[in-house]
Structure 1
Amino acid sequence: MAHTPRSSDHRDYQRVPRVVTAMARDEAHGASVAPHHHERAQLLYATEGLMRVQTDAGVWILPPRRALWIPPGVVHHWSSLSKVTMRTIYVEANAAKAYGDNCRVIEVSPLLRELILALLDEPIEYPLPGRGEHLAMLILSELAAAETVPIAIPWPRDRRLVAVCTAIMADPGSSRNIEQWADEVGASARTLIRLFPKETGLHYRQWVQQVHLAEAFGRLAQGHSVGAIAAALGYASPSAFSAMFRRILGKTPQHYLTEWRSPLTLHPA
């Protein structure tokens, strides 16, 4: 039986009398959505494509198999870095309290992906009790078990630091050091060194490494080789880049490259 086309307007999902709702939306490369917030929490997720998401607190690059948990009321905006097939869910605010009040990147398991897709086959206001309700409860269970991926780019407020961070995001492979950035924005290197942990919670090199990790995930998802990524990000060798990657994430980039080139399945070998 054919379903009535689902709305692709997020506002139509905020007051549906269901704990979990799911929305499908496809976007072209370069699409963007202005700053906004939701009454519900959102798991911002795309089965294909790359998204960049920003709040006042940080920036995240989301490839497939990664999703961003956005608590209710958090103002955010996003843009597509490629063609995107968004398959996102909204969680009622009271139920969302169990999953934290900070934005965080989670690993989307094959099961969670399939549950989200299955819920999209149900009516927006699915019958209670019924299959949709069971899918929703399983989605909440998978969210509770989901692994948090420690990739976030904290965003500063100081205008000098914003200028530096914006330039680094635009050219993450830049070889400029903090003294050169200081000259460019009219501050001393000592001032920038002090501002980075004060404004972002990270020292300069740690912040740059988070940018490199986010950029690497995006390039890995696009099928770039580890050697090409290391060169683009200014590392002396692929092994130097891989060592940084593994030190922070506990896995090598080769692990993710192999995983993302493999077909997604509920029962991976």
Structure 2
Amino acid sequence: MPRPLVDVDASAASSFCLADEMPPLATGWHAHRRHQLLYAAQGALHLEVDRAQWLLPPQRAAWLRGGTPHRVRSNHPVRLCTVYLEPSLVPMPPQEECCVFLLPPLAREMLVYSARWGPERAPDDAVAESFFQTLAHLLAEWSSQGQRWRLPRARTPELEKAMAYTLAHLEGPLSFEGAARAAGLSGRTLARRFDAEAQTTWRRFLHDARMLRAMELLAQNGARVTQTAHDVGFESLAAFTHAFHAFSGERPRDFRQRVAHGTALPAPPLRPTRPKRAD
């Protein structure tokens, strides 16, 4: 059974883990005083901060800087293992408000082990203090390989509807006109919204969303590359392999094998950045 809601900022312990099995969830916008390491040992999370959003399958974790507003949702049950760290324990806090990275095997084991110390633990537990200090130091190394795979976040309800419609239909035929109708906008207006709010196009958003969804599917036990290609809207396996390699720097088969062993991924290829427009 899920435990009652806990006010994590009220805990007397400097650092601790909050582990729980949760039904499908959708939190409101909130922030924590402590730095937060968000991890789902089972299931996948959808994480949003002010200007970006991520999919977090069990092989990835999010390192949220203390005070960062965020919200989380999951369409399926999840097993959470979230660590909260006193800022004074962290020698190198995240430079950005959120950093998402692939968990090495040691990190996964430490996160699962940390569940023995919940928010009600004794503040003077020397073993717990030493453990979380070690974890805080290792986080600087692990998060240095943060992934740039993210999606922009909508800033108006209309664009949010268009993005939600797109994310809900990645597996089948999908048109820009359908996304515009879902948002209640003309195609021209929706194109302007993507450009102004997300600094991208709908087609690029769709492509990146399909690649991130493919990563999530390939991370599951028994995943098949051909089925994954079909599940994210590709009729041709060759086209999917080419697109996935261009996006991630690896072929889908290699990615699947690497994630299964929990090893680090190569940095994705850099894309040309768009120049900022003058106000």
- Range into which the TM-score falls when normalised by the shorter chain: 0.7 to 0.9
* SS at 1:137 equivalent: helix
What CA distance in whole angstroms lies between the structure 2 residues aligned with 1:80 and 1:184?
A: 22
Do the aligned residues in 2 keep the contact of 1:173 with 1:234 (CA within 8 Å)?
Answer: yes
Q: Does 1:137 align with 2:133?
A: yes
Contact in 1 for aligned 2:50/2:69 (Cα 8 Å):
yes
Q: Could you list the per-position Cα deviations for residues 76-96 of structure 1 after superposition, in whole angstroms to 9, with x for gaps in the alignment?
A: 332333332211111224556
Is the alpha carbon distance of 1:142 and 1:175 closer, same or farther for their aligned partners in structure 2, counting shifts above 3 Å? same
SS at match of 1:35: coil
Structure 2 letter corresponding to 1:248? F
Q: 1:178 aligns with which of 173, 176, 179?
A: 176
Match for residue 112 of structure 2?
Answer: 117
Aligned-pair identity in percent equals: 25
Secondary structure of residue in 1 paired with 2:137: helix
- Equivalences for 1:62-81 in 2 at 5 Å? 62-81=56-75
2:194 paired residue number: 196
Which of these residues, 160, 163, 177, is aligned with residue 162 of structure 1?
A: 160
1:106 has 2:104 as partner: no
Conserved 8 A contact 1:27-1:80 = no
Residues 10, 62 of structure 1: CA spacing in aligned structure 2 closer, same or farther, 3 A cutoff?
farther
Aligned-partner residue type, residue 203 of structure 1: T
Superimposed CA distance per residue, residues 161-187 of structure 1 (whole angstroms, 9 cap, x where no aligned partner): 222111101111343333454456454
The structure-2 alpha-carbon separation of the partners of 1:176 and 1:115, relative to structure 1 and needing over 3 Å to count, comes to closer
Change (3 A) 1:177 1:225: same
Q: Deviations over 1:128-175 (max 9, x none)?
A: 6x3323321221222111221222221112333222111101111343
TM-score computed with the length of structure 1 as normaliser: 0.81
Deviates further, 66-75 or 89-98: 89-98
- The worse-fitting range, judged by mean Cα deviation, of 94-103 and 237-246 is 94-103
Write the distance in 2 (CA, Å) between the matches of 1:22 and 1:186: 43
SS in 2 for 1:149: coil
Classify the secondary structure of the residue corresponding to 1:114: helix
* CA deviation string 1:172-225 (max 9, x = no partner): 134333345445645443433332232113232321122112211222233431
The code of the aligned residue for 1:21 comes to F
Q: Is the 8 A contact 2:13 2:123 kept in 1?
A: no
C-alpha separation in 1, matches of 2:12 and 2:252? 41
Partner Cα separation in structure 2 for residue 197 and residue 93 of structure 1 = 37
Q: How many residue pairs end up in the alignment?
A: 255
Cα deviation for residue 56 of structure 1 reads: 4.3
| 2:46 aligned with 1:52 | yes
**TM-score, normalised via structure 2 length:** 0.78
The change in CA–CA distance for 1:107 and 1:184 in structure 2 (over 3 A counts) is: closer
Report the alpha carbon displacement of residue 63 of structure 1 after superposing the two structures with TM. Answer: 0.7
- The CA RMSD measured in Å over matched residues stands at 2.8
* 1:219-230 paired onto structure 2 within 5 Å: 219-222=217-220, 223-230=222-229
Task: State yes or no: 1:88 paired with 2:87.
Answer: no
Q: Which amino acid counterpart does residue 46 of structure 1 have in structure 2?
A: A
- How far 1:249 sits from its partner (Å)? 1.7
